[in-house]
């Protein structure tokens, strides 16, 4: 892992009025579904305008592209081996205590200690379900997904309107701040629209119902769509794509989309229109929240971040959605706006990783001295505001699968973590090594500049490059993150 760049200017500390923070992240939205990127025929007028007002990082990734690991990295500033959330929080993995730790010092804890009012709206997915299980649709299968988050596990968020995971977008389920475990409620409204309503209520804060008006605020809005199921959205967004058959057919003709003889080729064709429509719906709700910031007078002194927890293959490359190193899964949107502080621009040089968000945002907000030593991400606050920085030359890729975590042949969690996928992504290459518990090791190497669809695996053709990338990039990441996973070429 080589670091490029020489000059690193001082911390970007805000010495005036502490800024507010608005952090919006829909679930399962790949970077290419941003209209201004001109990669897919998706309508995102509000995000397009927002991107013209902020910094767009086109090389941001979700280092562990699946829900809970991303969320734990984002909240803790640490990689999965360190924060313990190596896979999704479910009832099956509850015996391994895979959930966000109560004593983890999150960025929200820091802001709470420094006088902020904090709010969380939407999907949380950082607590494992336990018996007696909540009686809801996501908990009626063999694996249970949904759980209440008790106040002592909310990491400083004093306004709470959330759920763990519940994939019924047209009738979502929530726990409000003071609700007990059995006191969840349903809403007959599309999830992102309802969550935008709640965010606007939070900003308006009539009669001080949602927060302390005398304090700066930090608000997270975590929308579930465009996560599947793709048929759960208002018809008005689908109708917007009724005259775009030709453009959608161009997507279907992509070399990474399997043909109709393959189940995933059929899957892509069935869902792509509705998924694009979902993104347009999310865009409209994000636009409503931005307008609220302006109307209530918070626009100038609010840092706004728009990103996603991971992308979605939607059947491309024969992959259902996430947990893979293809760009559709790995590469995520990242746009940050702070008027008069962050110059609008597009940047491809910074290879941003999820744990970098914690120190970068706290640094921007004036709390660089409060960042715990245990945080593994790097602050790029100075770079965001136009200064120089030492830039990473790669990003870590990390996936551990349920079957190995549940394998009774492996006695310890350490042993369970010694298999599965690790890799790196540089500006040009993606390397992924899959160490199987029972079977050969699979190695994938793609040159994304020459092969943007990642169709040509160069690992056998360029073994020296594989070894070089492993030793100079991946191995230092493993050492830094305390990951004992290793590979040797035989």
Given a cut of 90, is residue 351 above it in pLDDT? yes
| Tens-place pLDDT, residues 244-285 | 999 999 999 999 999 999 999 999 999 999 999 999 999 999
Annotate 322-353 with DSSP letters as a single string: SSSSSHHHHB--EEEE-TTTS--EEE-S----
Of the chain, the percentage scoring pLDDT greater than 90 comes to 91
Q: How far apart are CA 77 and CA 371, in angstroms?
A: 10
Residue 3's pLDDT is 44
Residue 10's pLDDT is 34
Alpha helices in 53-205 (DSSP H): 67-76, 80-83, 107-113, 191-204
The contacts found for 444-447 with CB under 8 angstroms, 24 or more apart, are: 444/325, 445/469
DSSP designation for 473: I
Q: How far apart are CA 245 and CA 353, in angstroms?
A: 36
| Tens-place pLDDT, residues 32-66 | 999 999 999 999 999 999 999 999 999 999 999 99
Residue 383's pLDDT is 98
Residue 12's pLDDT is 42
CA-to-CA dists, residue 481 to 102, 325, 363, angstroms: 21, 19, 22
Specify the pTM. 0.95
Burial class for 316, CB neighbours closer than 10 Å (0-12, 13-18, 19+): buried
Given a cut of 50, is residue 7 above it in pLDDT? no
Q: How far apart are CA 40 and CA 56, in angstroms?
A: 17
- In the structure, what pLDDT confidence band is assigned to residue 1 with cuts at 50, 70 and 90? low
Size of the chain, expressed as the number of residues it contains: 490
- In the structure, what pLDDT confidence band is assigned to residue 413 with cuts at 50, 70 and 90? confident
Higher pLDDT, 8 or 135: 135
Given a cut of 60, is residue 15 above it in pLDDT? no
Exposure of 194 in the CB half-sphere (CA atoms within 13 A): 21
Q: Average pLDDT, whole number, for the chain?
A: 95
| Tens-place pLDDT, residues 52-108 | 999 999 999 999 999 999 999 999 999 999 999 999 999 999 999 999 999 999 999
Mean pLDDT over 149-168 rounds to 98
CA-to-CA dists, residue 242 to 248, 260, 269, angstroms: 10, 22, 15
Place of tokens 């995971």: 165
Contact 308, 44 (CB under 8 A): no
> Which two tokens mark 30?
């790949």
> Which two tokens mark 96?
């391994």
């Amino acid at each position: 892992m080589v670091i490029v760049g020489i000059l690193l200017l001082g911390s970007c500390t805000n010495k005036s009025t502490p800024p507010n923070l608005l952090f919006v992240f829909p679930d399962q939205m790949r970077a290419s579904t941003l209209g201004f990127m001109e990669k897919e025929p998706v309508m995102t007028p509000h995000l397009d305008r927002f991107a013209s007002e902020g910094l767009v990082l086109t090389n941001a990734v979700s280092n562990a592209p699946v829900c809970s690991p991303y969320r734990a990295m984002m909240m803790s500033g640490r990689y999965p081996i360190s924060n313990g959330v190596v896979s999704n929080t479910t009832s099956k993995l509850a015996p391994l205590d895979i959930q966000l730790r109560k004593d983890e010092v999150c960025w929200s804890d820091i802001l709470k200690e420094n006088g902020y009012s904090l709010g969380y709206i939407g999907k949380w997915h950082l607590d494992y379900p336990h018996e007696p299980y909540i009686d809801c649709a996501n908990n009626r299968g063999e694996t249970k997904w949904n759980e209440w988050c008790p106040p002592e596990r909310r990491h400083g968020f004093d306004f709470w309107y959330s759920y763990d995971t519940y994939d019924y977008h047209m009738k979502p389920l929530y726990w409000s701040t003071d609700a007990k475990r059995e006191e969840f409620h349903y809403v007959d409204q599309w999830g992102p629209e309802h969550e935008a309503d709640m965010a606007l209520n939070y900003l308006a804060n009539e009669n001080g119902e949602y927060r302390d008006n005398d304090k700066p605020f930090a608000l997270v809005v975590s929308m579930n769509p465009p996560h599947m199921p793709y048929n759960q959205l208002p018809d008005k967004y689908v109708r917007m794509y009724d005259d775009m058959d030709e453009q959608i057919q161009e997507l279907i003709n992509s070399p990474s989309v399997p043909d109709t003889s393959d189940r995933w080729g059929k899957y892509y064709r069935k869902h792509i229109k509705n998924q694009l429509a979902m993104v347009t719906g999310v865009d409209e709700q994000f636009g409503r929240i931005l307008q609220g910031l302006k109307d209530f007078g918070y626009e100038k002194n609010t840092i706004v971040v728009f990103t996603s927890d991971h992308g979605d293959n939607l059947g491309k490359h024969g992959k259902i959605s996430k947990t893979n190193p293809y760009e559709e899964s790995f590469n995520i949107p990242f746009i940050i706006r702070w008027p008069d502080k962050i110059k609008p621009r597009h940047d491809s040089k910074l290879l941003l990783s999820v744990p970098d968000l914690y120190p970068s945002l706290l640094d921007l907000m004036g709390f660089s001295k409060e960042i715990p030593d245990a945080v593994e991400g790097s602050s790029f606050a100075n770079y965001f505001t136009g200064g120089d920085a030492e830039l990473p030359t790669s990003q870590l890729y990390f996936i551990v699968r349920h079957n190995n975590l549940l394998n009774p042949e492996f006695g310890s969690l350490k042993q369970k973590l010694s298999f599965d996928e690790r890799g790196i992504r540089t500006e040009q290459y993606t390397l992924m090594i899959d160490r199987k518990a029972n079977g050969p090791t699979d190695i994938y190497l793609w040159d994304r500049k020459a092969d943007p669809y990642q169709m040509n695996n160069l690992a056998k053709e360029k073994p020296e490059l594989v070894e070089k990338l492993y030793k100079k990039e991946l191995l230092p990441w493993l050492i830094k993150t305390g990951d004992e996973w290793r590979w040797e070429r035989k």
